[in-house]
Amino acid sequence: MVNVKQNVSLKDYSTMRLGGNANYLIEVGSRQDLEESAQLAQKNNLPIIMIGAGSNVIWKDEGFAGIVLINKILGFRAFEEDETNVFVTVGAGENWDSVVAKTVQMNLTGIESLSLIPGSTGATVVQNVGAYGQEISQTLINVEVFDLQDFKFKIIPVSNCQLAYRSSIFKTNPKNPYLISAITLNLSKSSPDKTKIYPAVTDYLNQNNISEVTPENIRRAVIDIRSSKLPDPAVIPNNGSFFTNPTISYSQFFSLQKSLNQAIPHWKIDTENVKVAAAWLIEYSGLKDFHDQNTGFATWKTQPLVIINESGTSTANLIKFRDFIVDTVYKKTGIRLTQEPQILP
C-alpha cells in the first residue's frame, strides 16, 4: 500500500523553494507503487504529476489539486558487455550524479561530462540534459515508462523520444501520458575522444598538468569548473540555467553583431543557424549580478543565466523578475529569451 500524504507544501519539492500545497503526495519506490498510485488517481479522478528532485520545476503559488508523485525507484544493472560496450539500466529515481560517479568508477565513457547535474536519472531524458559537450541523447538507448493511457509498462526506443536541445516528447507534449520508471544507456570502455573534449575542460586539464584523458579526470574537471561557477541549490535556491541559448539565423546574427558592435559568443548549429550565449546577452543588457529587492530575486554573480531566490516568497514575483529580464534583453538585443525550467501545474 502506498503512503498518501495530504496537503503537502511543494516548496520542499522544488530547488527554487516556491509554490503552494499539493492536495496529495506519494513517494513511489517501485513499479508496483507506481501502478497503484495511477489506479488511485484514476479511481478518484485526480490529475497526476511525477517529478524527481524538483531541480527543474517551479510550482505555482496556488499549488496542485491532484497527486504529486516523487520518483524514488532505484536500481543499477550493467549487462550485455562486449569488447567496447556496456549497457546499463538505471531506476528513474536514482540520483543522477551518483550514477555518473558509479560509471566513472567502472572506467566507462559516455556521461562523465554530465557530472554534478542535480536531480534524478529519469528526468535527464525529459529535457535531454546536456553540459560540457555531452547530452543524454548520445548514450540513451531506451526509456521504460508506465503509460497512463492503458496502464501498461512499455519500452520507448530513443528514436521515438524526439530528443532535441533541452527538449523531448516528455516535455513538449502537454498531454504527456508517460511516467518514466527506468532508462538504459550504452556506455563505452574506450577512452573519451580527445577531439571532442569541451574547451573549458581542456583548459582545466592543461592548467592542472593532467595529460591523461580518462572519464575520471574529465569528471573531476567538470565538478571543479561547475562548483566554481554555479550556486549549490541546497544552499542558495535556484533551478540552474533559467533560460535556454536562443537559436537565430546567421543573417540575424551578423546584423546583430554589427549593430551592437560586439563579438557575440555563439555555436554553429548548421549552415543556416547559430546558437547564441544567453548568458552573454543578459550580461550585455546590464543584468549580471543584478539584485531586485522588490521581488527578492537576483541573477548569479558568476553565471547570469542562473536566477537565485534571495528572499522571494512567491512564484508570481519570480515571473515578474523573469519578465523584466526577458523584456530588457529584448529591448537591448532584439532577442526574446525562452525559459528552461517548467512552471507546474
Ligand X SMILES: Cc1cc2nc3c(=O)[nH]c(=O)nc-3n(C[C@H](O)[C@H](O)[C@H](O)COP(=O)(O)OP(=O)(O)OC[C@H]3O[C@@H](n4cnc5c(N)ncnc54)[C@H](O)[C@@H]3O)c2cc1C
Question: What residues act catalytically?
Answer: 166, 241, 340
Q: Does residue 140 bind ligand X (CB under 6 A)? A: no
Q: Does residue 71 bind ligand X (CB under 6 A)? A: yes
Q: Does residue 50 bind ligand X (CB under 6 A)? A: yes
**Rounded to 10 degrees, what is the CA torsion of 325, 302, 119, 47?**
-10
| 134, 113 contact by CB (below 8 A) | yes
Q: Does residue 57 bind ligand X (CB under 6 A)? A: yes
CA 155 to chain centre: 22
Among positions 67, 99, 108, 117, the unique one binding ligand X when judged by CB under 6 A: 117
Among positions 49, 163, 305, 329, the unique one binding ligand X when judged by CB under 6 A: 49
What are the backbone dihedrals phi and psi of residue 130, each rounded to the nearest 5 degrees, phi first? Answer: -150, 150
Q: Does residue 130 bind ligand X (CB under 6 A)? A: yes
Tell me the closest approach of the beta carbon of residue 262 to ligand X, in angstroms. Answer: 25
| Crossing angle of the two packed helices 215-229 and 199-207, in degrees rounded to 10 | 100
Here's the x/- map for ligand X, 152-191, by CB under 6 A: it reads as: ------------------x--------xx-----------
Q: Does residue 63 bind ligand X (CB under 6 A)? A: no
- Which residue lies nearer to ligand X by CB, 180 or 197? 180
Q: Does residue 285 bind ligand X (CB under 6 A)? A: no
Ordered DSSP codes for 289-313: T-EETTTTEEE-SS-TTEEEESS--
- Which residue lies nearer to ligand X by CB, 169 or 260? 169
Nearest CA-CA partner of 343 in 38, 64, 8: 64
Among positions 88, 99, 111, 129, the unique one binding ligand X when judged by CB under 6 A: 129
CA 304 to chain centre: 17
Binding to ligand X (CB under 6 A): which residues in 219-278?
230, 233, 238-240
Angle at 194 (CA atoms; ends 83, 220), nearest 5 degrees: 90
Task: Report the sign of the C-alpha dihedral through residues 323, 325, 326, 331, in that order.
Answer: positive
Within 10 angstroms of residue 326's Cβ, the number of other Cβ atoms is 17
Q: Does residue 18 bind ligand X (CB under 6 A)? A: no
Residues lying near ligand X in the complex (CB under 6 A) are found at 15, 49-57, 71, 92, 117-120, 122-124, 126-127, 129-131, 170, 179-180, 230, 233, 238-240, 342
